[in-house]
Amino acid sequence: MDTTADWARGVTRVAVLTGAGISTDSGVPDYRGPNGVWTRDPAAADAFRYDRFMADPAARARFWRTYADHPAWHAEPNAGHHALVELERSGVAVRVLTQNVDGLHQRAGTAARKVLELHGTIHQVVCTGCGARTLTTCTLARVHAGETDPRCRDCGAVLKLAVVLFGEYLDDRVLSQARQIAAASQLLLAVGSSLLVEPAASLCAVAVEAGARLVIVNRDETPYDHLADEVLREPIGELLPRIVAALAANRNPAPTR
């Protein structure tokens, strides 16, 4: 990576769109990679479809089994998460738009108000009937005790993690806010995302159309590579700290003579 690249110069507002790839170094598996959850077990994706989840107790049982001992519960933030905290400390205004549901950005030290969780969070459970929200630890305790299809104790309706499943729409307010942040940025960093899942991936186009620079950091090709000022394939945990250092060093470029 050229630390003096034009896209790194004079940037004071950065939006960071993060996907599963930023958390794999923390031991949280991605979904579509070579060792991804759905690559190893394509049938598991059925439990993440909203219509199937709501209609089939067996799908719900499989879903809860998947998350009962998920690595995300024990994961720690890695160098990539910490690098984004350092970027903000350098004086750059940073907003994180994450497709991840693991909460690792917040645990690394990024303020919760500066993290927009596009696809929700695994740390809360929502009742599909009355809408009540509770901590996931309470529901997981019931799953570990033997309940395969835990129901709301107030209204008896189906419980689900507060995550967006396939077939569900993103919250309109969250998506609108994400688009505003992307459009207001000078640089959008897309990190560890396949950019295959819409509408989150379209934030890249929103930023570019508004005049922002786009840098994509991902192992594989994405549908938005052609819009990027630069595409970087190096490991995220090694590359992101270098990007942050470059942005911090070039935040106030010396005037030309």
Annotated binding site for Zn(2+): 127, 130, 152, 155
Residues 6+ apart with CB under 8 A from 171: none
Dihedral angle sign, alpha carbons of residues 143, 170, 197, 233: negative
Look at the block and give the residue holding tokens 């519960």: 73
Question: Active-site residue 119, yes or no?
Answer: yes
Q: Could you tell me which residues are beta bridge partners of residue 17?
A: 97, 190
List residues forming the annotated binding site: 127, 130, 152, 155
Residues 6+ apart with CB under 8 A from 254: none
Catalytic, out of 81, 119, 123, 144: 119
DSSP letter for each residue of 69-99 = T-GGGT----HHHHHHHHHHHTT-EEEEEE-
Dihedral angle sign, alpha carbons of residues 104, 107, 108, 111: positive
Residues annotated as catalytic are: 119
